[in-house]
Structure 1
């Protein structure tokens, strides 16, 4: 006979008194089970290094350089990105709390509000977005490998026969980089932690070196910082500022949901909070400043903004400099990609099929889907990258974040019952494993946030024309609608009593 009781420790962390209580559940496996206290070893440095590794990457660089390309000057782009990351830090820390307190990953956390089965809805939504990001980062890493080999092998490699619009050697580089990342994820979460610890500082040095090289070519920072904004500070700027800000927030909207995947290993709330405050806003502001100065410098040096650092690195004449720079780009991309875009969907897909998929096999599935999404199309244009891709999925995931924050902090007051997260007929079973209130709140929030999507692949007047004005504020709309919708429906239609279970639990 196993016990479903939980132990409360003096520092506020909670664990199952008997870990065997959920061992035979059809909705659990070794990766989804609550982390034992002895296994929660991540320190402040581990979280700061994790964010350094995730934020110091080429897509982060492309955020800032893309804003410069769209007409902002260095100050406007820097303020937009810094403000966006300070805003997204709030839901990120709110959702991180449950991971540290209970030792559970995001999809298990979501079961408390969506239901044991219903959690697959937000988990898979988050997972497929991560697959898209994995593909984008892998394509960028493949480009870097292609350029490095091209510097050594010559024109025969660079100008190889094209297949589907790209040299076959680029497709080969893409495949090699994909395989490297699959090898890293196969090593497990501890292998990833060790990789982040040493890769993050190297990547920081590489981006600084690129900026310094451009500053030397441009004759110092004066010519760069004196460049005017083509938008000014009037209506033209504010028209592009709102959707750009939503894109900056949406960049980490994925992590604002699934950060419990990492904070479940934290030594305590203080360590994860301090590590993330040190790691996210400071690191993103740093990479933004480096990107802005570097991209603005390319206007001075080359006459036009080069927003892709891989393309910029190719412009240098010294093959050794090019090779070192691109090796660092590969490390940066791998560091971010595996942590931000493989860990989460690995848990999410395993949550959907816990008896068939574990952390490693689900990671492989993520890699396959990331290729099928055709990432080379998503980053072909800054308008599509920032406004279509980032703003659209940011609005969708914001409504999920709203439900989680409302449920955890305002409905359940941070009190969860661990065993019931894995039980049939337990507190979180709701109706056939689904809580319709959370699903409705998410759907309504998503429609309000992205129903008016316009521009790029969307109709000029918006998918739903009367909702078009809301799309410029998609993340805020989604977050508030999901939050208010869940609280309102839960109050109007109470879904459980104070008892731990409605009926005898079964596994």
Structure 2
């Protein structure tokens, strides 16, 4: 019981692992400094920093392409905006709920996943999240590389005609992303705080170009806003529901690993307000930029151009094209590192905490981002929205639902921080380090949506796959864990170990 005397302490509703407990765990196979709960002194992100993080992540080219892609698929501009707003309001719910544990206990996502899956079983969930993040990392690097390639083409016309230019630009941009990610959380915080205002200017610049160009073509704003939907009769709901699932899936990754960031928040109020102000508002605003500019391209060029890099390349002014491409590169950089490197780097580190650091995990993520071949995922709007986003959303919805059911319904928000990093004696060890019931929940909750992917008559199940899987997991997990009590921490136990830590440190 000596370990329990120095387990954790609480200050104003926030918990941290005691220094004595950190010493005890130092050489434990499931512990390292990157995965350890953040100290209270390390929780320095206020409302602005959390909001700026979301502005930096939301003002990105995939957001723009989501909106423009829905128009290319047949929706009108206002239908596309409603789809995006609704999707982001839905995903904000699990986002806020799963943030709580990160702020309260300072734990990153791979450690949070140990609660439901077990100490070793968490590898399943964290690596599943890491693989998707690596795919996103590659996509963003390809987009940013395309913007850099456009900049080089404007500066040197001979570059534009060189087929190998895009590959050189891709690897340069890739290296920049990996380098900043390697530097850690404070570098990310600095970049997001300064990047947010730049991204606002980029958005206004795109709108200004669209207005000016449409006016020069003898048209006006109403001609853009009155563009009709182009979907075939009877296809609206199929496109709308599939688009909604894709929009939820867009940030469903962060709905899982949001503790990776909320662990740095000063308080629950800061993380809640920062996300509420930063995510839905920014996504809606930049989505409007996407649909407005895409609508303008149909008037100016006679076709919907859904790729903003292609739009930049069509701009006649070299200076405007240069500024636009630089803005796209900044937008991609701010999103990519925060959204697509932190989670897989932590997840990879979780595989062997004593030998793999966060920085090493970031390097491995960069390599995986190339192996995923992002140029194929971005080949068409359908491949991007309905293929990539729609498919992985089916797999992640049940995880979000399971974590919420585990933390709020099953555990009542009570955790034993010390046990999260122990081995076979841990209350979170389950059977050989795995909680088989979590795996069963995941499989059962995915079954119906996956059937919708392979059976034509059940396609509506896949079109709403994230929501169906999410709700099924919330119901299945508490039911299947009903008689599993060994991993629970009672209110009395929590009070005892927390009180003893405080008394020990005063002594």
TM-score range, shorter chain: over 0.9
Paired with 1:317 and 1:386, the residues of 2 have a C-alpha distance of 30
Paired with 2:434 and 2:349, the residues of 1 have a C-alpha distance of 18
Give how far 1:385 is off: 0.7
2:370 paired with 1:374:
no
Tell me the secondary structure at the aligned position of residue 266 of structure 1: coil
Tell me the secondary structure at the aligned position of residue 9 of structure 2: strand
Residues 4 and 21 in structure 1, CA contact (< 8 A), matched pair in contact too? no
2:277 paired with 1:275:
no
Residues 71 and 80 in structure 2, CA contact (< 8 A), matched pair in contact too? yes
Give how far 1:215 is off: 1.3
Tell me the secondary structure at the aligned position of residue 137 of structure 1: helix
Q: Which structure's residues are more often helix, by fraction?
A: 2
Give how far 1:231 is off: 3.2
Q: Give the match for residue 428 of structure 1.
A: 428
Residues 451 and 462 in structure 2, CA contact (< 8 A), matched pair in contact too? yes
Give how far 1:56 is off: 0.4
2:16 paired with 1:15:
yes
Q: Give the match for residue 5 of structure 1.
A: 7
Paired with 2:377 and 2:483, the residues of 1 have a C-alpha distance of 42
Give how far 1:448 is off: 2.4
Q: Give the match for residue 187 of structure 1.
A: 183
Provide Cα deviations, 1:356-410, integer angstroms capped at 9, x if missing partner.
Answer: 2111110010000010010000011111111111011011011111110000010
Q: Give the match for residue 293 of structure 1.
A: 292
Residues 415 and 489 in structure 2, CA contact (< 8 A), matched pair in contact too? no
Give how far 1:239 is off: 2.1
Paired with 2:76 and 2:460, the residues of 1 have a C-alpha distance of 25
Give how far 1:255 is off: 0.2
Paired with 1:430 and 1:365, the residues of 2 have a C-alpha distance of 30
Measured on the aligned residues, the alpha-carbon RMSD in Å equals 1.6
Q: Give the match for residue 122 of structure 2.
A: 119
Q: Give the match for residue 501 of structure 2.
A: none
Provide Cα deviations, 1:221-250, integer angstroms capped at 9, x if missing partner.
Answer: 111011111238x73212211111000000
Unaligned runs of 5+ in 1: 161-166, 454-461, 502-507
Q: Give the match for residue 99 of structure 1.
A: 102
Tell me the secondary structure at the aligned position of residue 27 of structure 2: coil
Q: Give the match for residue 227 of structure 1.
A: 227
Paired with 2:24 and 2:469, the residues of 1 have a C-alpha distance of 37
Tell me the secondary structure at the aligned position of residue 429 of structure 1: coil
Give how far 1:5 is off: 2.2
Tell me the secondary structure at the aligned position of residue 385 of structure 2: helix
Q: Give the match for residue 314 of structure 2.
A: 315
Paired with 2:209 and 2:151, the residues of 1 have a C-alpha distance of 18
Residues 411 and 489 in structure 2, CA contact (< 8 A), matched pair in contact too? no
TM-score, normalising length from structure 1?
0.92
Give how far 1:450 is off: 2.6
Paired with 1:421 and 1:333, the residues of 2 have a C-alpha distance of 35
Residues 29 and 352 in structure 2, CA contact (< 8 A), matched pair in contact too? no
Q: Give the match for residue 408 of structure 2.
A: 409
Tell me the secondary structure at the aligned position of residue 15 of structure 1: strand
Q: Give the match for residue 502 of structure 2.
A: none
2:59 paired with 1:56:
yes
- 1:430-445 superposed matches below 5 A: 430-445=430-445
- 1:129-144 superposed matches below 5 A: 129-144=132-147
Paired with 1:493 and 1:8, the residues of 2 have a C-alpha distance of 27
Aligned with 2:42 (options 35, 39, 44): 39
Paired with 1:26 and 1:98, the residues of 2 have a C-alpha distance of 23
Paired with 2:24 and 2:124, the residues of 1 have a C-alpha distance of 25
2:159 paired with 1:157:
yes
TM-score, normalising length from structure 2?
0.92
2:27 paired with 1:24:
yes
Give how far 1:293 is off: 0.7
Q: Give the match for residue 504 of structure 2.
A: none
Residues 411 and 488 in structure 2, CA contact (< 8 A), matched pair in contact too? no
Aligned with 2:195 (options 199, 206, 213): 199
Give how far 1:452 is off: 2.6
Provide Cα deviations, 1:99-133, integer angstroms capped at 9, x if missing partner.
Answer: 00000001101101110110111100000000000
Paired with 2:435 and 2:458, the residues of 1 have a C-alpha distance of 27
Paired with 2:318 and 2:60, the residues of 1 have a C-alpha distance of 22
